[in-house]
Amino acid sequence: MALKGLDIFKLTPKTNCKDCGNPTCMAFAMKVASGALPIEKCPHMSAEALSTLSEATAPPMKSYKVGEHALGGETVLSRHEKTLVSKTLYAVQVCDCMDEAKQDEVLKNIPAVDYERIGERMYVEMVYVNHSPAKSAADYAGLVGKAKALGRPMVLSCTDVEAMKAGVEAAAGCDIIVNGATPDNYADMSAVAAGAKALLGVRADSIEQLHEVVEKLEAAGNKNLILDVGDASIKDAYANAVQIRRAALKDGDRTFGYPSIVNVDNLAKGDAHLEAALLSLFTCKYGSIVVCSEMTYAKALPLYGLRQNIFTDPQKPMKVEPGIYPINGADENSPCCLTVDFALTYFLVSGELERSKVPVNLLITDASGMSVLTAWAAGKFSSSSIKKFFDEFDVANKIKSRALIIPGKVAVMKGEIQDKLPDWSVIVGTSEAVQLVKYLRDEEWKKSYVEKAAPAAGETAPAEAAPAPKKVIPAPPIVVTGPYKIDGKEVTYKGHDPASRQFVTIGERIHCISPAIRKAMDSYDEAPILKRAAEQIAAGATYLDVNIGPAESNGPELMQWAVQLLQQNFNNVPLALDTANQKAIEAGIKVYNRTNGKPIVNSADAGSRISNIDLAAANDAIVIALCSADGIAKDNEERMMHCHNMLERGLHLGMESDDLWFDPLFLVIKGMQDKQMDVLSAIRAFSEEGLKSTGGLSNNSNGMPKHIRPIMDAAMVGMAMTMGLTSAIVNPCDQRLMETIKSCDIIKNNNLYADSYLEI
Amino acid sequence: MPFAKKPQVFSAKINELTLGAGDKAVTLGGQNVFNLYAFDAPMANSPKIGIDVSDDPEQPSEGLREFYAGCDTLAQRAQKAAALEHVDFVCIRFDLADPNGANKSIEDCVADAKAVAEAVDKPIVVAGCKNAEKDADLFAKVSEALQGKNILVLSAKEENYKGIAAGAGLAYGQKVGAESAVDINLAKQLNVLITQMGVGGQNIAMNIGSAAAGYGFEYVVSTLERVKAAALSQNDNTLQMPIITPVGVETWGVKESTAPESENPGWGSAEERGIDMEVETAAACLAYGSDAVILKHPASIETVARLTAALM
């Protein structure tokens, strides 16, 4: 639990010596509380104060490693609040009370379940070796020695200190947990665990007693613990598991801030299906290690799938593995349908394909878990990525059919894909998954199928084929229409002073996701582009964003054309250059006129797109810096880390901090409602550090009805501007939003009020 | 400091919804604690278990074929299913009504439903064929035929809630299921729309979506948790309807449950795999907030009943 500034102040020497670089101890304490300074910056803190502080700022639940497996470290009770970090581990119980044949059988069956599911190895991670009081220490040591041969970490369960010593000795060289501390033996058992450098498992007859024993162990200096929830009854075990975790994470009780062990073998008492149910229950809530009698595929297939689902990071898009997925018994002669690896897209498309009952090979390409259009716009789903996929998975040799059906939404890619895969007949499929059933059943795709000359026997056609001549439509000369008019009214760009404190709006309407713009970009048709530019300028946009899509074949020409077209027609309106194609951005900047402000590079992030910061630095441009790496940042700590990494990189390359505009990533309310205040806090944090910020603000209202969106966007911009947002990528034609922004600029004293302020 | 239990008891509670009539009627919901947290305060009603019986005689497993052997009609199967000890209600499902499939007529469905009502004394839930238009009509006609039986129709969706709320809820006083697909905002919106039509919040149950474990189940988890959190900790009365989750229809369709042993010899008996898939998915649904689950296999029902009994 975070300490307040005043609590920290009480622990400081209160001498205001300034050795920490702050004017007063109070100022220092406030900065420590906000996380801006480490407590060690004060050279005069007493050891006692330091330990109190580190205790108070310690995470609510300890985290450990046993072998390669993580345990504990959770900060939330529900996966949607933030990621659950340490997945439940499974162990199989073997006991020295079993006859030898039974022991051997149990041990022999442990490796039986071992498979991979979406990139994760699924197997029994640990062996739980139990000691019965009826048996001798030597019996126990013998069993531990046998179990050790499996080479997996072991949980030694034994309340007899001497037998445990024998077990620990027999386990030498193996990662173990010493699960045997009780209210009677905890001091001695703790010494055994400490000697073996192992976690100590603690059990007691009641939760109150368990708490008491843990307190005593902690007082004696052992804080490497794991709590056994007991096996008196299913009800008690469940109550304990939930209450222990809840006490630690919700009520701040550090004494219970340890991982847990649940023995469902002892609870299910031989009922295999009940054991399956309990495995599931305690994976949901809140078993760190769950022990069963046997792991069969029947239990494992749902269980490991469930665990994988629960412990996925909710901030990261769920991806499916790229590959060839035969559907409805497809074979090498069945046609191919191509799409991206976003899990929802996959489930939707594969579901509809199955409904069609037509055998089809579904090709899933790596698109960083984005949906079709988003991936395409970000350059993650392109003819090159598809070509790479075909090479990596050796599609041409695995599949004989040469029919390749691509999503209708990216029909523009057809030519580029055809160039890269000349042997295939690239067919534009349906725009929506639901249309696939009819499309396939009625064999509509065959109408567009073009038979390709089959390569002669022995010839390796794909490698030998001459590259198709690259057809690049040359950019036409720039057309300047003279004063552009809307409803007879001349549209002129009002100009922009980069030093102004007024809110900067970046108009988002020239975006290749719009079919009209996509078509216009494809054919250098200036009319639709000029029209959208004029509308946005008339509505008061400061900058215009120009998204030309991935533009793999003609990016530089296209961007130069677009930049000059817009600037020459509209008084050098400043622009944000938006494409995954870096060469296109550079080319655009070469012909860019800076009268009304530097060009903006849209955008860099802290992951694969970080080099766009270098690009901006090299070309004296502004860069929009997304505070994310792969997927959405899980909290503001991560957002700020990305922010500082990118800031540092920019400054190091000679940029001004004002030229990095940080984007916290606005999140969809329908889906991430509980994260909205985090986004706003991030904006405040940028602002407090004197940094500029921007972002695709209207993403918050994605999926809401048309009449709601302007209301929600206006509320969001108002709150965000209070927090210090300095710019946003918006639809300037949304009048309510633009009026709200202008009003906020008045309230923030960025613009002097006049009755006609909305009109200027 | 000694440990003091801090029971998480809310001032809000989940609505109680009674299905059926007479001494076999069952009540869902009513609790003022998170699901299965009987250690915080006693659950007003334990979670309920329904059995899923389709009008399609095809069964997904050998064990189910054996169980229903000799039953030729939906009513006979429903009677056999209802006789199981731990079954609280019977969910009859008109898969064959699908216009893109067998397109069984509504009259035939109504006749089936009537026969079921005569053969079964436990409460009846009626599920449709997933075709929005046909379901609206089907639910209205079945609701008329089963007046007084206090059935639940499962369910009204965004596309057809008007017809169902009017045709089943308002006209014949039946209970209305509101179905959304792991979308908490839509779940709330549907409840609002259906109550605005005049169906009382006390007469609505929610199906917030379902999936087999491993198949995007995290969306089910988060939706269940967030609905219950809003209902109980924010006292949001548009989300206090009990949640009923069809589990069997999801779990008996995935390859883990149906792939024959010959395909993957190491996997072992398909029957066992199907049961565990159903049991583990159901246990997870209950852990995260379902007030009732609908299952297919007698062994699954027996197991889930043991689990919930042990937790109460």
Q: Do A277 and B283 touch (CB under 8 A)?
A: yes
**pLDDT at residue A55 is higher than 80:** no
DSSP code per residue over B139-169: HHHHHHHTTTS--EEEEE-TTTHHHHIIIII
Domain end (from A418, A452, A486): A452
User: Which residues in chain B touch residue A278, judged by CB atoms under 8 angstroms apart?
Assistant: 283, 307
Integer Cα distance of B64 and A516 in angstroms: 55
Burial class (CB in 10 A: 0-12, 13-18, 19+), A134: exposed
User: Which residues in chain A touch residue B256, judged by CB atoms under 8 angstroms apart?
Assistant: 301-302, 305
Burial class (CB in 10 A: 0-12, 13-18, 19+), B148: exposed
- Cβ contacts below 8 Å, chain A against chain B, sum to 168
Residue A181 lies in a domain: yes
Q: Which of A234, A272, A309 sits opposite B216 (nearest CB)?
A: A309
> What CATH number is given to the structural domain containing A697?
3.20.20.20
User: Which residues in chain B touch residue A328, judged by CB atoms under 8 angstroms apart?
Assistant: none
> Tokens for A256?
């219970």
- Together in a domain, A273 and A372: no
- Together in a domain, A160 and A229: yes
- Together in a domain, A67 and A25: no
- Together in a domain, A257 and A167: yes
Residue type for A347, please?
Answer: F
Q: Which of A302, A308, A671 sits opposite B280 (nearest CB)?
A: A302
Residue A472 lies in a domain: no
Q: Which residue of B has its CA nearest to A256?
A: B3
User: Which residues in chain A touch residue B279, judged by CB atoms under 8 angstroms apart?
Assistant: 273, 276-277, 280
- Reading chain B (312 residues) residue by residue, the pLDDT tens digits are 899 999 999 999 999 999 999 999 999 999 999 999 999 999 999 999 999 999 999 999 999 999 999 999 999 999 999 999 999 999 999 999 999 889 999 999 999 999 999 999 999 999 999 899 999 999 999 999 999 999 999 999 999 999 999 999 999 999 999 999 888 999 999 999 999 999 999 999 999 999 999 988 999 999 999 999 999 999 999 999 999 999 999 999 888 998 899 988 899 999 999 999 999 999 999 999 999 999 999 999 999 999 999 999
Q: Which of A277, A278, A302 sits opposite B214 (nearest CB)?
A: A302
pLDDT (mean) for A461-467 = 45
- Together in a domain, A436 and A511: no
Integer Cα distance of A529 and A566 in angstroms: 8
Q: Which residues contact A758 (CB under 8 A, 6 or more apart)?
A: A739, A742, A743
Tens digits of residue pLDDT in A717-745:
999 999 999 999 999 999 999 999 999 99
Beta carbons of B139 and B164 less than 8 angstroms apart: yes
User: Which residues in chain B touch residue A243, judged by CB atoms under 8 angstroms apart?
Assistant: 5, 39
Q: Do A247 and B6 touch (CB under 8 A)?
A: yes
Strand partners, B126: B92, B153
Integer Cα distance of B158 and B242 in angstroms: 19
Selected residue with higher pLDDT from A17 and A102: A102
Tens digits of residue pLDDT in A424-439:
999 999 988 888 988 9
User: Does the domain spanning B16-311 belong to CATH 1.10.1040.10?
Assistant: no
User: Which residues in chain B touch residue A233, judged by CB atoms under 8 angstroms apart?
Assistant: 310
Decide: helix, strand or coil at residue B266.
helix
Residue A253 lies in a domain: yes
Angle CA A728–A733–A734, to nearest 5: 75
Q: Which of A211, A271, A302 sits opposite B276 (nearest CB)?
A: A302
Residue type for A266, please?
Answer: N
Integer Cα distance of A321 and A728 in angstroms: 35
- Nearest-CA distance B194 → chain A (Å): 19
B225 membership: H or E segment, kind and range? helix B217-233
Q: Do A234 and B279 touch (CB under 8 A)?
A: no
- Nearest-CA distance B216 → chain A (Å): 6
Q: Do A318 and B218 touch (CB under 8 A)?
A: yes
Beta carbons of A406 and A417 less than 8 angstroms apart: yes
Beta carbons of B43 and B19 less than 8 angstroms apart: no
| Strand locations in chain B (E) | 16-19, 26-29, 48-54, 89-93, 124-127, 152-156, 175-179, 204-207, 244-246, 292-295
Beta carbons of A653 and A617 less than 8 angstroms apart: yes
- Nearest-CA distance B217 → chain A (Å): 6
Q: Do A310 and B306 touch (CB under 8 A)?
A: no
Identify which of B110, B120, B108, B138 has the alpha carbon closest to the alpha carbon of residue B53: B120
Q: Do B214 and A233 touch (CB under 8 A)?
A: no
Domain end (from A272, A304, A336): A304
Q: Cα dist. A222→A194, A226, A261, B113 in Å?
A: 8, 11, 18, 65
Integer Cα distance of B54 and B73 in angstroms: 10
Integer Cα distance of A721 and A741 in angstroms: 8
Integer Cα distance of A743 and A266 in angstroms: 67
Task: Enumerate the domain spans of chain B.
Answer: 16-311
User: Which residues in chain B touch residue A212, judged by CB atoms under 8 angstroms apart?
Assistant: 2-3
User: Which residues in chain B touch residue A208, judged by CB atoms under 8 angstroms apart?
Assistant: 2-3
Q: Please, how many CA atoms are within 13 Å of residue B230, restricted to the half-sphere of its CB? A: 19
> What CATH number is given to the structural domain containing A24?
1.10.15.40
Residue A614 lies in a domain: yes
Beta carbons of A439 and A352 less than 8 angstroms apart: no
- Together in a domain, A260 and A340: no
Residue A691 lies in a domain: yes
pLDDT mean across residues, chain A: 91
Ramachandran quadrant class, A227 (left: phi over 0; alpha: psi -120 to 50; beta: rest): beta
- What's the count of helices (H) and strands (E) in chain A, helices before strands? 29, 27
Q: Name the percent of chain A lying above pLDDT 90.
A: 69
Beta carbons of B241 and B206 less than 8 angstroms apart: yes
Give the structural domain span for A20: 5-57
**pLDDT at residue A392 is higher than 70:** yes
* Cis, peptide link before residue A687, omega less than 30° from 0: no
Q: Do A277 and B36 touch (CB under 8 A)?
A: no
- Nearest-CA distance A345 → chain B (Å): 12
- Together in a domain, A654 and A569: yes
Q: What is the residue whose two structure tokens read 């908490």? A: B184
**pLDDT at residue A483 is higher than 60:** yes
Q: Which residues contact A395 (CB under 8 A, 6 or more apart)?
A: A324, A336, A363, A389
User: Which residues in chain A touch residue B287, judged by CB atoms under 8 angstroms apart?
Assistant: 280-281, 284-285
Beta carbons of B31 and B68 less than 8 angstroms apart: no
Residue type for B7, please?
Answer: P
- Together in a domain, A48 and A88: no
User: Which residues in chain A touch residue B307, judged by CB atoms under 8 angstroms apart?
Assistant: 234, 274, 277-278, 281
* Cis, peptide link before residue A608, omega less than 30° from 0: no
Q: Which of B225, B277, B279 sits opposite A78 (nearest CB)?
A: B225
Segment among A263-267, A656-660, A752-756, B231-235 with least mean pLDDT: A752-756
pLDDT category of residue A551 using cuts at 50, 70 and 90: confident
DSSP summary character for residue A112:
G
Beta carbons of B292 and B152 less than 8 angstroms apart: no
Q: Which residue of A has its CA nearest to B217?
A: A309
**pLDDT at residue A56 is higher than 80:** no
Question: Across A103-107, A451-455, A698-702, which has the greatest mean pLDDT?
Answer: A103-107
Q: Are strands A360-365 and A323-327 parallel, antiparallel or unpaired?
A: antiparallel
Residue A619 lies in a domain: yes
Q: What is the residue whose two structure tokens read 């490698």? A: A463
- Together in a domain, A421 and A531: no
- Together in a domain, A539 and A558: yes
The total number of structural domains in chain A stands at 4
Q: Which of B37, B212, B251 sits opposite A242 (nearest CB)?
A: B37
- Nearest-CA distance A568 → chain B (Å): 46
- Together in a domain, A27 and A161: no
User: Which residues in chain A touch residue B215, judged by CB atoms under 8 angstroms apart?
Assistant: 305, 309, 347
Report CA A646 to chain centroid distance, whole Å: 18
Task: Indicate the length of chain B as a whole number.
Answer: 312
Q: Name the percent of chain A lying above pLDDT 70.
A: 96
Residue A383 lies in a domain: yes
Q: Which of A277, A302, A344 sits opposite B256 (nearest CB)?
A: A302
The pLDDT score that the predictor gives to residue A471 is 56
The pLDDT score that the predictor gives to residue A190 is 97
* Residue of B49, B258, B280 for testing the chain A interface, max A β-carbons within 10 Å: B280
Decide: helix, strand or coil at residue A22.
coil
Identify which of A732, A688, A711 has the alpha carbon closest to the alpha carbon of residue A31: A688
Tens digits of residue pLDDT in B182-216:
889 999 999 999 999 999 999 999 999 999 999 88
